[in-house]
Amino acid sequence: MNHSLYDKLQVLEPAGQAMDREERLSAAGRPLLSWYHQHRRILPWRENPEPYRVWISEIMLQQTRVEAVKPYFDRFMEALPGVEALGEVSEDRLLKLWEGLGYYSRARNLKKAAELLVEKYGGKLPSSYEELKALPGIGSYTAGAIASIAFQIPVPAVDGNVLRVISRLTGSMEDITKQSVKRDMEELIKGVMPKEDPGSYNQALIEAGAIVCVPNGAPLCGSCPLFSLCVARQKDLTGVIPVKAPKKERRTEHRTILILTKDGHVAIRKRDDTGLLASLYELPGLEGRISQEQIKETLGVKEAKITPLPEAKHIFSHVEWHMTGYRVELTEVPKGDYLWVTPEEIKKTYSLPGAFKAYTKLIR
């Protein structure tokens, strides 16, 4: 391993004289920024960090990999290039643009925030951390990212990547899932971050966590700009830090999914406006594993051609769906409040959540 480049840039820890965590993080700043400017990924929102673009990218990047976000970001920018267009877009169109990213409440909050921005700020994002944080769907991390990257305001942007990097750097054994630990980390970073180019500093921490101090698997310590300063590496604790409380076990739900077809149309319906996948379109579903005879009884039809489809599974944060599917070809109108649409309309207009992906791809 060749650490010569990074060693020249780092403040090495004096033998027998341990740094406190503020000193350690302060010493990390210069090598971290030098590494970032050499190794950062080229991303469309980084190359043009206009406030609207930074905002949209940060919301899309929540719970989604960078490479997966790129085509969604480009398509979204083309369709809705600014705040006013976002505020005016119909919900169906917005959710279709968002289809596949999941967590659809994020898209709805974008529209709510855009409407507020048009009403209160002339269609522009405010250059104030507190005002950004007050917008729908924007928490401390997103407000910090927009404020620092788009407006060069020295406020931290602490996400899971940053929590992991700082925890390992400082050797912290505190549970990073606690909000109190995150707030403490924000205060720590705020005290040492540079006043010049704070956006690059925040992105450098995030980037280090994304591509070096990685979330899954062993960290790539040999490529890390913080190699000589990292307490977790020094004490062989990278497999222990960061500390996280165990997640609650997900409950399992069994569901029967139906592709109902009649005269070249497919039945979809809107879910209730509360709960999981609220107000989104779905393929009709029934709780539990339902027999073919029960399907006909539920639909109130005497005759139907019913074809079994492959089983599928979808994992949400707190629940796991185990699904059995059937294609049901009808000649009479079934009971139920359905919207009958063509496969082409589903492709172009109506957004169906990724939970149904195994079955929507079978619609013909």
Q: What confidence tens digit (pLDDT) does each residue in 189-245 have?
A: 999 999 999 999 999 999 999 999 999 889 999 999 999 999 999 999 999 999 999
Rounded to whole angstroms, how far apart are CA atoms 202 and 258?
Answer: 47
Q: Where are the beta strands (DSSP E) in the chain?
A: 251-262, 265-270, 281-282, 285-287, 305-315, 319-329, 339-341
Rounded to whole angstroms, how far apart are CA atoms 39 and 42?
Answer: 9
In the beta sheet, which residues pair with residue 269?
A: 282
Q: Which of 23, 47, 50, 58 is catalytic?
A: 58
Structure tokens at 172: 């912290």
Task: Quote the pLDDT of residue 174.
Answer: 97
Residue where the block lists tokens 């409440």? 105
Task: Quote the pLDDT of residue 148.
Answer: 98
CATH of 4-234, one of 3.40.50.300, 3.10.310.10, 1.10.3720.10, 1.10.340.30: 1.10.340.30
Q: What are phi and psi of 164, to 5 degrees?
A: -70, -45
Structure tokens at 339: 């919207």
CB 139 within 8 A of CB 58: no
pLDDT tier for residue 15 given thresholds of 50, 70 and 90: low
Domain ranges of the chain: 4-234, 251-360
Task: Quote the pLDDT of residue 279.
Answer: 85
CATH of 251-360, one of 2.40.50.100, 3.30.56.10, 3.90.79.10, 3.10.100.10: 3.90.79.10
Task: Quote the pLDDT of residue 14.
Answer: 61
* pLDDT, tens digit (0-9, with 9 covering 90-100), for 263-304: 999 999 999 888 888 889 999 999 999 999 999 999 999 999
pLDDT above 70 for 7: no
Assess whether 207 carries a catalytic annotation.
Answer: no
Check: pTM over 0.75? Answer yes or no: yes
In the beta sheet, which residues pair with residue 329?
A: 261, 305
C-alpha distances in angstroms, 141 versus 59, 62, 339?
10, 10, 39
* pLDDT, tens digit (0-9, with 9 covering 90-100), for 90-103: 999 999 999 989 88
Residue where the block lists tokens 């971050």? 193
Q: Which residues contact 122 (CB under 8 A, 6 or more apart)?
A: none
Cis ω before 242 (30° cut-off from 0): yes
**169: how many CB neighbours lie within 10 A of its CB?**
25
Structure tokens at 238: 């990278």
Mean pLDDT over 109-121 rounds to 98
* pLDDT, tens digit (0-9, with 9 covering 90-100), for 322-357: 999 999 999 999 999 999 999 999 999 998 999 999
Mean pLDDT over 159-186 rounds to 97
Q: What is the DSSP letter of 230?
A: -
Please give the mean pLDDT across all residues of the chain.
93
SS3 (DSSP) at 189: helix
